[in-house]
Amino acid sequence: MRVERYFITGLAVLLPLFVTVWLVAWFYAEALRLVTGVLALFGIAVPGWLAPWLPVFGLGLAVLFITGVGLLASNWLGRNLVRFFDQLVSLIPLVRDIYRAVKQISTGLFGRPEMEFSRAALIEYPRRGSYALCFVVQNVGRRLSPLPEGYTVVVVPTSPVPASGFVLIVPNEEIIPLDIRVDDALRFVVSVGFILPPEEASRLAGRPI
Protein backbone atom coordinates (compact mmCIF):
# COMPACT_ATOMS: atom_id res chain seq x y z
CA MET A 1 0.00 0.00 0.00
CA ARG A 2 1.11 3.55 -0.73
CA VAL A 3 0.42 4.72 2.87
CA GLU A 4 2.60 1.92 4.23
CA ARG A 5 5.41 2.89 1.87
CA TYR A 6 5.16 6.53 2.98
CA PHE A 7 5.25 5.46 6.62
CA ILE A 8 8.39 3.34 6.09
CA THR A 9 10.06 6.18 4.16
CA GLY A 10 9.26 8.65 6.93
CA LEU A 11 10.54 6.21 9.54
CA ALA A 12 13.80 5.79 7.62
CA VAL A 13 14.23 9.58 7.52
CA LEU A 14 13.35 10.27 11.17
CA LEU A 15 14.85 7.24 12.92
CA PRO A 16 18.51 8.37 12.63
CA LEU A 17 17.51 11.79 13.99
CA PHE A 18 15.57 10.30 16.90
CA VAL A 19 18.40 7.92 17.79
CA THR A 20 20.96 10.74 17.63
CA VAL A 21 18.87 13.03 19.84
CA TRP A 22 18.24 10.20 22.31
CA LEU A 23 21.95 9.35 22.51
CA VAL A 24 22.93 13.00 23.03
CA ALA A 25 20.30 13.44 25.74
CA TRP A 26 21.34 10.19 27.43
CA PHE A 27 25.01 11.11 27.35
CA TYR A 28 24.26 14.58 28.74
CA ALA A 29 22.28 13.14 31.64
CA GLU A 30 24.86 10.44 32.41
CA ALA A 31 27.79 12.87 32.21
CA LEU A 32 25.97 15.30 34.53
CA ARG A 33 25.21 12.51 37.01
CA LEU A 34 28.78 11.19 36.90
CA VAL A 35 30.51 14.52 37.43
CA THR A 36 28.04 15.57 40.13
CA GLY A 37 28.60 12.26 41.94
CA VAL A 38 32.39 12.60 41.80
CA LEU A 39 32.24 16.15 43.14
CA ALA A 40 29.86 15.06 45.91
CA LEU A 41 32.42 12.48 47.08
CA PHE A 42 34.81 15.34 47.82
CA GLY A 43 32.11 17.46 49.42
CA ILE A 44 32.14 20.04 46.64
CA ALA A 45 28.86 21.85 46.08
CA VAL A 46 28.10 22.76 42.49
CA PRO A 47 26.71 26.27 41.89
CA GLY A 48 23.49 26.33 39.91
CA TRP A 49 25.00 28.37 37.07
CA LEU A 50 27.78 25.80 36.65
CA ALA A 51 25.57 22.71 36.53
CA PRO A 52 24.69 22.92 32.79
CA TRP A 53 28.41 22.99 31.95
CA LEU A 54 29.31 19.89 33.94
CA PRO A 55 28.62 17.50 31.03
CA VAL A 56 31.32 19.34 29.07
CA PHE A 57 33.81 18.34 31.76
CA GLY A 58 32.37 14.84 31.69
CA LEU A 59 32.91 14.71 27.95
CA GLY A 60 36.49 15.84 28.41
CA LEU A 61 37.08 13.14 31.01
CA ALA A 62 35.51 10.53 28.73
CA VAL A 63 37.77 11.57 25.85
CA LEU A 64 40.83 11.38 28.11
CA PHE A 65 39.77 7.97 29.41
CA ILE A 66 39.13 6.55 25.92
CA THR A 67 42.42 7.99 24.65
CA GLY A 68 44.22 6.46 27.63
CA VAL A 69 42.70 3.05 26.92
CA GLY A 70 43.76 3.37 23.28
CA LEU A 71 47.28 4.30 24.35
CA LEU A 72 47.45 1.34 26.73
CA ALA A 73 46.10 -1.07 24.10
CA SER A 74 48.77 0.09 21.64
CA ASN A 75 51.71 -1.27 23.63
CA TRP A 76 52.78 -4.80 24.54
CA LEU A 77 51.24 -4.84 28.02
CA GLY A 78 47.93 -3.45 26.83
CA ARG A 79 47.64 -5.91 23.94
CA ASN A 80 48.20 -8.80 26.33
CA LEU A 81 45.59 -7.44 28.74
CA VAL A 82 43.07 -7.12 25.91
CA ARG A 83 43.89 -10.65 24.76
CA PHE A 84 43.43 -11.95 28.32
CA PHE A 85 40.07 -10.17 28.59
CA ASP A 86 38.96 -11.61 25.23
CA GLN A 87 39.83 -15.11 26.44
CA LEU A 88 37.99 -14.50 29.69
CA VAL A 89 34.84 -13.33 27.91
CA SER A 90 35.03 -16.30 25.50
CA LEU A 91 34.36 -18.61 28.46
CA ILE A 92 30.90 -17.12 29.07
CA PRO A 93 28.17 -18.58 26.83
CA LEU A 94 25.94 -16.10 24.95
CA VAL A 95 27.97 -13.15 26.27
CA ARG A 96 30.94 -14.17 24.13
CA ASP A 97 28.79 -14.22 20.97
CA ILE A 98 27.45 -10.71 21.63
CA TYR A 99 30.91 -9.45 22.56
CA ARG A 100 32.53 -10.87 19.42
CA ALA A 101 29.81 -9.47 17.16
CA VAL A 102 30.02 -5.98 18.69
CA LYS A 103 33.82 -6.06 18.60
CA GLN A 104 33.88 -7.04 14.93
CA ILE A 105 31.47 -4.24 14.05
CA SER A 106 33.28 -1.61 16.12
CA THR A 107 36.65 -2.66 14.72
CA GLY A 108 35.30 -2.42 11.20
CA LEU A 109 33.67 0.95 11.75
CA PHE A 110 36.27 2.72 13.87
CA GLY A 111 39.41 0.66 13.87
CA ARG A 112 42.24 0.04 11.49
CA PRO A 113 42.69 -3.31 9.76
CA GLU A 114 45.51 -5.44 11.15
CA MET A 115 46.83 -5.80 7.62
CA GLU A 116 47.22 -2.63 5.62
CA PHE A 117 45.69 -3.10 2.17
CA SER A 118 46.89 -0.88 -0.63
CA ARG A 119 43.41 -0.05 -1.93
CA ALA A 120 39.82 -1.16 -2.46
CA ALA A 121 38.67 -2.55 -5.80
CA LEU A 122 36.01 -4.62 -7.56
CA ILE A 123 36.30 -7.96 -9.31
CA GLU A 124 33.70 -9.77 -11.38
CA TYR A 125 32.68 -12.51 -8.94
CA PRO A 126 31.09 -15.03 -8.42
CA ARG A 127 29.72 -14.86 -11.97
CA ARG A 128 30.01 -12.53 -14.92
CA GLY A 129 27.84 -9.48 -14.52
CA SER A 130 28.00 -9.39 -10.70
CA TYR A 131 30.78 -7.76 -8.70
CA ALA A 132 32.42 -8.30 -5.34
CA LEU A 133 34.31 -5.71 -3.34
CA CYS A 134 37.89 -6.72 -2.60
CA PHE A 135 41.10 -5.37 -1.10
CA VAL A 136 44.34 -5.44 -3.06
CA VAL A 137 47.17 -7.13 -1.14
CA GLN A 138 50.14 -7.31 -3.50
CA ASN A 139 51.33 -8.20 -6.98
CA VAL A 140 52.37 -11.82 -7.39
CA GLY A 141 55.17 -11.29 -9.91
CA ARG A 142 56.95 -14.62 -10.56
CA ARG A 143 56.69 -15.92 -6.99
CA LEU A 144 53.82 -18.33 -7.63
CA SER A 145 55.19 -20.40 -10.48
CA PRO A 146 53.85 -21.60 -12.89
CA LEU A 147 51.63 -18.48 -12.84
CA PRO A 148 53.09 -15.86 -15.19
CA GLU A 149 53.45 -12.21 -14.31
CA GLY A 150 50.36 -10.02 -14.33
CA TYR A 151 48.47 -11.51 -11.36
CA THR A 152 47.52 -9.85 -8.07
CA VAL A 153 46.48 -11.21 -4.67
CA VAL A 154 43.17 -9.79 -3.41
CA VAL A 155 41.07 -10.47 -0.33
CA VAL A 156 37.31 -10.70 -0.76
CA PRO A 157 35.74 -9.88 2.66
CA THR A 158 32.47 -11.27 3.95
CA SER A 159 29.74 -9.27 5.71
CA PRO A 160 29.45 -8.35 8.50
CA VAL A 161 32.77 -9.94 9.56
CA PRO A 162 35.45 -8.97 7.01
CA ALA A 163 38.10 -11.12 8.70
CA SER A 164 36.36 -14.29 7.50
CA GLY A 165 36.97 -13.44 3.83
CA PHE A 166 39.02 -15.44 1.37
CA VAL A 167 42.02 -14.93 -0.89
CA LEU A 168 41.86 -14.86 -4.69
CA ILE A 169 44.62 -14.52 -7.28
CA VAL A 170 43.26 -12.66 -10.29
CA PRO A 171 44.70 -11.12 -13.47
CA ASN A 172 45.56 -7.45 -13.12
CA GLU A 173 43.28 -6.42 -15.95
CA GLU A 174 40.26 -7.89 -14.15
CA ILE A 175 40.71 -5.62 -11.12
CA ILE A 176 38.53 -2.49 -11.21
CA PRO A 177 40.03 0.21 -8.94
CA LEU A 178 37.62 2.10 -6.69
CA ASP A 179 38.12 5.75 -5.82
CA ILE A 180 37.29 5.23 -2.14
CA ARG A 181 39.43 4.77 0.95
CA VAL A 182 40.04 1.35 2.48
CA ASP A 183 38.35 2.49 5.73
CA ASP A 184 35.20 3.50 3.84
CA ALA A 185 35.16 0.16 2.03
CA LEU A 186 35.47 -1.70 5.35
CA ARG A 187 32.54 0.22 6.80
CA PHE A 188 30.54 -0.66 3.70
CA VAL A 189 31.27 -4.37 4.26
CA VAL A 190 30.60 -4.32 8.01
CA SER A 191 27.27 -2.53 7.51
CA VAL A 192 26.29 -5.14 4.88
CA GLY A 193 26.03 -2.41 2.28
CA PHE A 194 24.00 0.14 4.25
CA ILE A 195 26.84 2.62 4.84
CA LEU A 196 27.89 3.85 1.42
CA PRO A 197 31.24 5.64 1.00
CA PRO A 198 30.91 9.44 1.14
CA GLU A 199 30.86 11.37 -2.11
CA GLU A 200 33.93 13.33 -1.05
CA ALA A 201 35.99 10.13 -0.64
CA SER A 202 39.66 10.34 -1.57
CA ARG A 203 40.36 9.91 -5.26
CA LEU A 204 42.58 6.85 -5.61
CA ALA A 205 41.67 5.56 -9.05
CA GLY A 206 44.79 6.99 -10.62
CA ARG A 207 47.12 4.96 -8.42
CA PRO A 208 48.56 1.82 -9.99
CA ILE A 209 47.58 -1.61 -8.70
pLDDT, residue 203, reads 46
Domain residues for 184? 119-190
pLDDT in tens, 116-162: 677 899 999 988 899 999 999 888 887 888 888 899 999 998 887 77
pLDDT, residue 206, reads 41
pLDDT in tens, 100-110: 777 766 665 56
Which regions of the chain are under pLDDT 70?
1-2, 12, 46-52, 54-55, 58, 104-116, 200-209
pLDDT, residue 47, reads 67
Count of the separate structural domains present in the chain: 3
Boundary-marking domain end, from 94, 111, 128 = 111
Question: Is residue 49 located within the same domain as residue 16?
Answer: yes
Q: Give the residue among 27, 12, 29, 106 at the shortest CA–CA distance from 63.
A: 27
d(CA 122, CA 82): 34
d(CA 132, CA 126): 8
pLDDT, residue 133, reads 94
Question: Is residue 20 located within the same domain as residue 69?
Answer: yes
Identify whether 200 is part of a domain.
no
Question: Is residue 66 located within the same domain as residue 89?
Answer: no
